[in-house]
Structure 1
Amino acid sequence: MKKILITLLMALGFIAGAHANSGGIAWDKAPDRTNDLAALQNGAKLFANYCLNCHSAAFMRFNRLKDIGLTEQQIKDNLLFTNAKVGDTMKAAIDPKQAKDWFGANPPDLTVIARSRSAQGQGTGADYLYTYLRTYFVDDTKPTGWDNLAFPSVGMPHALWELQGKRVPVYETVTEHGHEAHVFKGWEQLTPGTMTAEQYDQAVGDLVSYMQWMSEPVKNTRIRVGFGVMVFLLFMTFIAWRLNAAYWKDVK
């Protein structure tokens, strides 16, 4: 229980840190594809290939991916890159001591990161992740060579840069209340990635949807069961009401 609480606190800190400054950008709405098995499988592949190098998902086991339509053999062949077994939890490949030396702190566990919410009520944790993974840009003044609009001065480099390519934000100078301000207008692509902008957004949407599913694998089942229970209770309430009326109809 203590480990779960610590992980939640780390996740909340990871999310809230993005908007520590008042100039944070608006978060985009993340697509919800948690009922799309193909999207979840693609998201799981991206997670295993790009996230598990540094981040763990200590409360998720590889064999749980059978719930999104993957067989045990597919998990072994496509998602296990270390000596881990299918029944093991998803642990990062990086050495914790090296991670602390390189990034200044150990990368947070991502099992429940998508369930964290913005402290400012701007959106969900999934909305933040979707925006965060799509707003990296090249910045040679930073130790990693990267910065992020959603999380200024981020310590994490752009893990997906080969897919998205290298780009920089474009600002427009405007005058507001007698003061000049720089307003974000768009992006300038410096080098292309292996994906188009649309394909990259689709891939990030799949990845975030997988992280949503991973944070609560039974959520959709819970919603379906809850809906069925509510329908049943409404039906039984109607039956009880009519039965009560029939029982008392001759009583004066």
Structure 2
Amino acid sequence: MRKLIFLAALCFSSTTMAASGNIPLDEAPIDLSDKASLQRGAQTFMNYCAGCHSMQYQRYSRTFEDLKIPEELGEKYLQFTGDKPTDYIKRGMPAESAGTWFGAPPPDLTLVARVRGADWLYTYLRTFYVDKNRPFGVNNKVFPEVGMPHALQPLQGTPRETYEEVMVDGEMVKRYTGIQSDGDGALSADEYDKAVADLVNFLEYTGEPFRPQSETIGKWVLVFIVVLFVFVFLLKKEYWREVH
């Protein structure tokens, strides 16, 4: 089921990717073995993203188990819709209301890291900036004309484009240098980058929850193949000894 959903989402995303900006993507510091980072990312998602976005292919109970979160703490701090731990993670906003307010229901984010890529998400969440011409007052460098508000603005503060004046062909022109917060958010610039990294780390995990186990099994399979090769090679020599 996950593979089918992934393929469908990939096909759907081909049109939206074309609208993406051409700025270089920053490398996301992904570490699926860092349980503390995954726990912080889950908390950020539930507090700032789950109101609009669902994870309809990820269960609360699976999240609690994989991230080493006691069920009672998970229910208290990560479940706000009255669902049971065995339920899938659903958005808090009714789909009809979301369609009215945003033009279309916000997409499910279970597989967004697999569709978009962790680097794209990491850069996207750090390149919102004020644009009074947009319906929600913000735009994005990675996804121009983005149709969603900057959900993490309470953490980052008000982000604005910054420029510097440089001489080009004898004329002074403004060159884009980045995005800087006004400092009215709950986090500093470094703290915000870390919070985004944790969130992207969590989204990377939900796209493939079994990945750490698969990588562990894969290493043991390679070890088995190497050992098996030794025995097969010795057996081959034994069979062909008289021929040679």
Normalising by structure 2, we get a TM-score of 0.89
SS of match in other structure, 2:158: strand
How far residue 249 of structure 1 moved from its aligned partner, in angstroms, is 3.4
Matches within 5 A, 1:11-22: 13=12, 17-20=16-19
1:104 and 2:103 aligned: yes
State whether structure 2 residue 193 is matched by structure 1 residue 201: yes
Would you say 1:238 and 2:219 are equivalent positions? no
Unaligned regions of 5+ residues in structure 1, if any? Answer: 118-124
Residue 147 of structure 2 aligns with which residue? 155
Query: 2:41–2:198: 8 Å Cα contact kept in structure 1?
Result: yes
1:184: how far off? Answer: 2.2
In structure 2, what residue type is equivalent to 1:202? K
State which of 157, 167, 170 in structure 1 corresponds to 2:162. 170
Cα 1:56/1:170, change in 2 over 3 Å: same
CA RMSD across the alignment: 2.6
Corresponding position of 2:23: 25
Q: How many equivalent pairs are there?
A: 243
Give per-residue Cα distances to partners, 1:16-36, cap 9 Å, x unaligned: 525426x53111111112111
Instruction: Give 1:220 deviation, angstroms.
Output: 1.5
Deviations 1:159-215, CA, capped at 9 Å, x for gaps: 110110102112357788999986421234324311111111111111101100101
Unmatched segments (≥5 aa) in structure 2: none
Give the whole-Å Cα distance in 1 for the aligned partners of 2:242 and 2:94: 79
Identity %: 40
Query: Does the C-alpha gap of structure 1 residues 105 and 178 become closer, same or farther in structure 2, counting only changes over 3 Å?
Result: farther
Q: Is the 8 A contact 2:127 2:179 kept in 1?
A: no
Corresponding position of 1:133 = 125
Q: Indicate if the aligned counterparts of 1:170 and 1:188 stay in contact, CA closer than 8 A.
A: yes
Report the Cα offset of residue 82 of structure 1.
Answer: 1.4
Which letter maps to 1:75?
Answer: G
- The offset of 1:4, in angstroms, is 7.0
Report deviation, 1:47.
0.9
Matches of 1:172 and 1:9, distance apart in 2: 43
Q: For the residues of structure 1 that align with 2:128 and 2:221, how far apart are their CA atoms?
A: 44
Contact 2:75–2:85 (CA<8 Å) still a contact in 1?
yes
Corresponding residue of 2:137:
145
Moved more, 231-240 or 242-251: 242-251
Partner of 1:50: 48
Is 1:19–1:150's contact at 8 Å kept on the other side of the alignment? no
Task: Provide closer, same or farther for how the CA distance between residues 180 and 237 of structure 1 changes in structure 2, counting only shifts above 3 A.
Answer: farther
Q: For residues 27 and 98 of structure 2, what CA distance do their matches in structure 1 show?
A: 31
Q: 1:136 and 1:36 mapped to 2: Cα distance?
A: 27
Distance 2:99 2:167 in 1: 42
